[in-house]
Amino acid sequence: MTKKILILLFILIPIKANALIEVDITRGNLNPLPLAVSPLSIDEESRKDFEKILKKENIGSEISNIVENNLRTSGLFNPLDKKAFLQAPDIANLKPRFEDWNLIKAQALITGKANYVDDKLRVEFRLWDVLAAKEMMALAFTTVPNNWRRVGHIISDKVYERLTGEKGYFDTRIIYVSEEGPKTQRIKKLAIMDQDGANNKFLTLGNELVLTPRFNPASQMVTYLSYFKNMPRVYLLDIETGTQEVVGDFPGMTFAPRFSPDGKKIIMSFAKDGKSDIYTMDLENRIVEKITNHPSIDTSPSYSPDGKYITFNSDRSGYQQIYVMKNDGSDVKRISFGNGLYGTPVWSPRGDLIAFTKLHKGKFYIGVMRTDGSGERLLTENYYQEAPSWSPNGRVLIFYRETKTNSKGEGFSAKLWSIDLTGYNERQIKTPTDASDPSWSSLLSN
Amino acid sequence: MRLNKILKNTLLILTACLVLSACATKKEVATDIQGQMQGDVYTGTDTVEYLADGVPDRVFFATNESILTTASRETLRAQAGWLRKNPNINVVLEGHADERGTREYNLALGERRANAAKDYLMTYGISSDRITVLSYGKERPVDSGSNPLAWSKNRRSVTVKAN
């Protein structure tokens, strides 16, 4: 009881002290901020134009729905039911009647307008602090009509940033592996979708097994593992052009690829004679460097955001554990010392944490620890889950989860899930097929 | 007194018998469930195929291990004999892991297992030119079950004819 009251106080005090609304995202948010997303107002002529071009009856409402959905799934905001709104969208955008919005307990209000101008979609929006009766932000965008979903994501990012003080993660995409068929013969394809599941597209046909796709920092290229011609090798794919190439000329299996933070190198494992070591390849001059040299399995490498360090997992101690080393392979230090096995370390884009998968007493956990291994925190426990990937602002982790089959070996599924760094707000991300190995892009509009 | 003692002894014998028979049945039940495993290495034949008469195609491993058991070494010696008799046949050793590990580590583990089998074939005179190693990690289980027996069948290195 006292705990609940304390949390309430913490959230309330900063709001009062700063006059303008502020959402604290560093702790689990049990009281999402109530806010009203008024549909973008649209004149009848523009509405008809967009209906013709985009086959959407009211693009203003559609864009607002995207904003509303994004803010709700963040777990930090509670968008109120539109039926309760007292003020019409067009008038609200000019000058909200704050008493009306106060009455339905909205603390923030988003209003806006969509127009069809010179074959373009023009959107303006405003964020209002209802209690202070003040405009917090006003912005306008012009883009091709087909970009309407992205406009919704960009508005969501701007609102999130204004209210939390941190960059958003809505104008982003997820690359993942789509899975179909029986567990013993899964058909796997590379697939890409917007962060909210829209615009799903398959990038490979499923003729060969593909695994572990990861974006480069510009989110234009993907590195992944393909069993093309039954030779497991790391590949590079240009999403726009569709061109693919093998990375390096290794006499055996290369796997577990990731880009360096500047996008110039790929770091990966190469397995030979029962040993797996970590290598990098420079994408410009094709120079290959061996980073670790140990008879154990060294894999799942991930760079720190400044590129100076690498975290990876190794069984050199006898069991799978997490290590950190300098980017030249020197100064190797084990950082995981808890009970169980540790794998798939991924450095947070903020630099302060490493997310991992832990296997302990038959359960799988997704957790985070500081980069020296201290402060281990387990966020979620399940029968099987692994491969966390960070949202670009380092606040959310996406991963995949597999179900236990029944006594006949039936009932297998693999799905994408996300959870906040706080351990709250766990959600399944809907995909058209089963899914695994998600990788989150950086913000596209930066 | 004596009668008492005799009675006591018979009782003891009786209880001993009971305990023994209980043990026997218990053991039998246990072997029924676990009979296809020793430790956690699969020892059954359900999934095994044969490259030739008396030449099983696969060997099995303990959790997280790539050490060859006595039975595995026997299987591999039979494979080596068969390969020596058929010098034109090349093989792919496909290494696999169970589903209870992270994907990337399992890829490495599958490679290490297949490689353990390769090393053993080489010590029995098979040239490395004739052997290709291919790891599938946890991607191609033979048993889709989520239980220790299914996992034990999936921790394997399978020798497949390449030509």
Interface test with A, best of B65, B98, B106, B107 (most A CBs within 10 A): B107
B103 beta partners: none
Beta-strand relationship, A108-117 and A33-37: parallel
- Whether residue A287 has pLDDT greater than 60: yes
Domains of chain A: 2-164 (3.40.50.10070), 173-440 (2.120.10.30)
- The reported pLDDT for the residue numbered B30 is 43
Interface test with B, best of A226, A233, A234, A255 (most B CBs within 10 A): A255
Which residues from B are below 8 Å from A269, CB to CB?
104, 108
- Whether residue A9 has pLDDT greater than 90: no
Residues A96-113: pLDDT tens digits?
A: 999 999 999 999 999 999
Distances (CA, A) of B62 to A406, B39, B113, B151: 23, 8, 10, 10
Task: Say yes or no for a CB contact (<8 Å) between B99 and A186.
Answer: no
Contact A172, A392 (CB under 8 A): yes
Query: How many CA atoms, within 13 angstroms, populate the side-chain half-sphere of residue A431?
Result: 32
DSSP A102-116: HHTT-SEEEEEEEEE
Q: Whole-model pTM?
A: 0.90
Question: For the domain B37-161, what is the CATH code?
Answer: 3.30.1330.60
- Whether residue A291 has pLDDT greater than 70: yes
The letter for the amino acid at A413 is: S
- The reported pLDDT for the residue numbered A407 is 86
- The reported pLDDT for the residue numbered A234 is 98
Mean of pLDDT values over B18-32: 41
Mean of pLDDT values over B14-41: 54
Residues A207-225: pLDDT tens digits?
A: 999 999 999 999 999 999 9
- 3-class secondary-structure state, position A51: helix
Q: Which two tokens stand for residue B72?
A: 């595995």
- The reported pLDDT for the residue numbered A11 is 34
- Whether residue A4 has pLDDT greater than 60: no
Please tell me the distance in Å from A406's CA to the nearest CA on chain B.
7
Query: Average pLDDT over chain B, rounded to whole?
Result: 86
Mean of pLDDT values over A122-136: 95
Lowest mean pLDDT among A7-16, A145-154, A187-196, A201-210: A7-16
Contact A13, A6 (CB under 8 A): no
At A445, is the pLDDT very low, low, confident or very high (cuts 50, 70, 90)?
Answer: confident
- Whether residue A260 has pLDDT greater than 60: yes
- The reported pLDDT for the residue numbered A37 is 97
User: In the A/B pair of chains, how many CB contacts fall below 8 A?
Assistant: 104
The letter for the amino acid at B16 is: A
- Whether residue B23 has pLDDT greater than 80: no
CA dist., res. A218 & res. A230, Å (int): 30
- Whether residue A297 has pLDDT greater than 90: yes
Please tell me the distance in Å from A393's CA to the nearest CA on chain B.
25
Burial call A131-149: b when 16+ CB within 10 Å, e when fewer: beeeebeeeebeeebebbb
Mean of pLDDT values over B95-102: 97
CA dist., res. A347 & res. A239, Å (int): 24
Contacts (Cβ under 8 Å, ≥6 apart) of A239: A192, A203, A219, A220, A221, A222
- Whether residue B12 has pLDDT greater than 50: no
CA dist., res. A129 & res. A19, Å (int): 9
Q: Which two tokens stand for residue A237?
A: 């794919």
Of B135, B141, B143, the CB nearest to A253: B135
Beta strands, E only, A118-168: 120-129, 134-143
- 3-class secondary-structure state, position A188: strand
**CA angle (A430 as vertex; A424, A434 as ends), nearest 5:** 115
Burial call A31-48: b when 16+ CB within 10 Å, e when fewer: ebbbbbbbbbbbeeebbe
- Whether residue A300 has pLDDT greater than 70: yes
Contact A184, B144 (CB under 8 A): yes
Please tell me the distance in Å from B109's CA to the nearest CA on chain A.
8
- 3-class secondary-structure state, position A16: helix
Q: Taking the C-alpha atoms of B109, B115, B117 and B123 in order, what is their torsion angle to the nearest 10 degrees? A: -150
Q: Which two tokens stand for residue A352?
A: 């302060």
Which chain A residue lies closest to B112 (C-alpha atoms)?
A: A274
- Whether residue A7 has pLDDT greater than 50: no
Q: Which two tokens stand for residue B104?
A: 């990337």
Which residues from B are below 8 Å from A252, CB to CB?
111, 133
Which chain B residue lies closest to A408 (C-alpha atoms)?
A: B145
CA dist., res. B139 & res. B116, Å (int): 20
Which of these, A149, A131, A136, A182, lies nearest to A12 by C-alpha position? A131
Boundaries of every domain in chain B: 1-34, 37-161
At A31, is the pLDDT very low, low, confident or very high (cuts 50, 70, 90)?
Answer: confident
At B34, is the pLDDT very low, low, confident or very high (cuts 50, 70, 90)?
Answer: low
CA A89 to chain centre: 31
Which of these, A362, A398, A364, lies nearest to A378 by C-alpha position? A364
Of A269, A274, A412, the CB nearest to B115: A274
Residues B117-131: pLDDT tens digits?
A: 999 999 999 999 999
Kindly give the interhelix angle for B103-123 and B70-85, rounded to the nearest 10 degrees.
60
- The reported pLDDT for the residue numbered A24 is 74
The letter for the amino acid at A351 is: G
Task: Say yes or no for a CB contact (<8 Å) between A343 and B104.
Answer: yes
Complex prediction ipTM: 0.92
